[in-house]
Amino acid sequence: MKTLSVDLGDRSYPIHIGQDLLQRPELITGHVKGRQLMVVTNETVGPLYLDSVQQLFTGFELETVILPDGEQYKTLDTLNLIFDALLEKRFNRSCTLVALGGGVVGDITGFAAASYQRGVAFLQIPTTLLAQVDSSVGGKTGVNHALGKNMIGTFYQPGCVLIDTNTLDTLDDRQLAAGLAEVIKYGLIRDAGFFDWLEAHIDRLKARDKSALGHAIERSCTIKAEIVAADERESGQRALLNLGHTFGHAIETGTGYGSWLHGEAIATGMLMAADLSARHRWLSQADVDRIEALLQRAGLPTRAPDEMDETRFMELMAVDKKVIDGGLRLILLKAIGEAVVSGDFKPGLLNETLTSAA
């Protein structure tokens, strides 16, 4: 087992990574506040892991709320189901919410914890690769709006992240690949050596080799923890974690939440960011080809869907959270392992990237 720390002063918290951690109550129960515990999960993950999680918290007053499964349910209406359960069971301010599931459950539960009675404790038990390397760490919480992805939410940090890599055994291949997109993102933005390692080990990762997965999760969480500790509220370098997201969120919103997985949309978005970087001569075409090859070997799409023409992209990208004072900022690459936030890309070259993306 490895333990990392997200260093945020008195809000610092551990990330435990390893196999069989759902059998290790001592790692997590110390982070519970009060005796009342609400485990939030969904109709897919609940039947798989709720029993183990109930064992983990033996001795607490434990209730559960089971949400419908899917990105299309990451809404205010679903959030309300958690508030209904908390109020019906008379949960007080000294309680703890536990997110058991992927990024959808984690983001909604974190937002519920941030706002229930003006803030209660919460813990993350992420069960998808994407949630284990990204969404469970760093405190971004929230829900989607019909007009934009993740538009309603807040920053609110968990008290502990418990990553049992055995939970990946039940994840389907498409979801595993979606998580690999975020893993590849860390190599692209911060660590060329890790990108090389991913090129060498992608087949082991796809085969769910636990040692390779453990290393990929640890390296990803280390990079994320460093960035979050330096810029929790995204006034600077945290924006780099959004490589591919402006294009990707447009694809997710444009195709209706749920048909493209978040990680799939981010994969295509990262290649679009690489393409635009190459059109500015910041990145070589050979590097763009390496990125495309790795994404494809991971089983990820690299072409935007046909319905996403240039006009639709521009319309949807205009509501991106990285638009400041009317100007769009994009995360682009100066090299593999070196991302920058840029507002001074050439609009003509952006048009070329958008028209050639599909």
Catalytic positions: 118, 140, 182, 224, 234, 238, 242, 245, 249, 262
241 near ligand GLY (CB under 6 A): yes
246 near ligand GLY (CB under 6 A): no
Stretch 70-89 residues interacting with ligand GLY (CB under 6 A):
none
Q: Evaluate whether 199 touches 342 at the Cβ level (below 8 Å).
A: no
Q: How far is the CB of 130 from ligand NAD (least distance, A)?
A: 4
Report the Cα 243 to chain-centroid distance in Å. Answer: 12
DSSP H helix total and E strand total for the chain? 12, 11
107 near ligand GLY (CB under 6 A): no
Q: How far is the CB of 270 from ligand NAD (least distance, A)?
A: 13
Q: How far is the CB of 131 from ligand GLY (least distance, A)?
A: 11
Q: How far is the CB of 3 from ligand NAD (least distance, A)?
A: 20
Residue from 134, 164, 252, 264 in contact with ligand GLY (CB under 6 A):
134
What is the Cα–Cα distance from 321 to 308, expressed in whole angstroms?
20
Q: Which is nearer to ligand NAD, 25 or 148 (CB)?
A: 148
C-alpha atoms less than 13 angstroms from C-alpha of 129 in its C-beta half-sphere = 31
Strand (E) or helix (H) holding 141: strand 140-145
Beta-sheet pairing, 36-42 with 338-342: unpaired
249 near ligand GLY (CB under 6 A): no
Q: Which is nearer to ligand NAD, 182 or 275 (CB)?
A: 182
Residue from 21, 39, 82, 107 in contact with ligand NAD (CB under 6 A):
107
Stretch 306-335 residues interacting with ligand NAD (CB under 6 A):
none
238 near ligand GLY (CB under 6 A): yes
Locate 63 and state its tokens: 């209730």
Give phi and psi for 281, each to the nearest 5. 65, 25
Using DSSP's 3-state secondary structure scheme, residue 27 falls into: helix
Residue 152: CB atoms within 10 A of its CB come to 15
Q: Evaluate whether 268 touches 304 at the Cβ level (below 8 Å).
A: yes
102 near ligand NAD (CB under 6 A): yes
Residues near 351 by Cβ (< 8 Å), separated by ≥ 6?
A: 310
128 near ligand NAD (CB under 6 A): yes
Q: Which residues of 91-112 are buried (b: 16+ CB within 10 A; e: fewer)?
A: beeebbbbbbbbbbbbbbbbbb
The item of ligand GLY, ligand NAD, none sharing an interface with residue 42, based on CB under 5 to 8 Å by kind, is ligand NAD
What is the Cα–Cα distance from 295 to 336, expressed in whole angstroms?
14
Residue from 78, 165, 167, 242 in contact with ligand NAD (CB under 6 A):
167
Q: How far is the CB of 349 from ligand NAD (least distance, A)?
A: 27
140 near ligand GLY (CB under 6 A): yes
242 near ligand GLY (CB under 6 A): yes
170 near ligand NAD (CB under 6 A): yes
Phi-psi region of 324 (alpha: psi -120 to 50; beta: other; left: phi over 0): beta
What is the Cα–Cα distance from 305 to 358, expressed in whole angstroms?
6
What is the Cα–Cα distance from 212 to 168, expressed in whole angstroms?
13
The item of ligand GLY, ligand NAD, none sharing an interface with residue 242, based on CB under 5 to 8 Å by kind, is ligand GLY
18 near ligand GLY (CB under 6 A): no
What is the Cα–Cα distance from 332 to 189, expressed in whole angstroms?
9
Q: How far is the CB of 242 from ligand GLY (least distance, A)?
A: 6
Which chain residues interact with ligand GLY by CB under 6 A? 134, 138, 140, 238, 241-242
Which chain residues interact with ligand NAD by CB under 6 A? 42, 44-45, 48, 69, 71, 74, 101-105, 107, 127-128, 130-131, 134-135, 138, 140, 150, 167, 170-171, 175, 178, 262-263
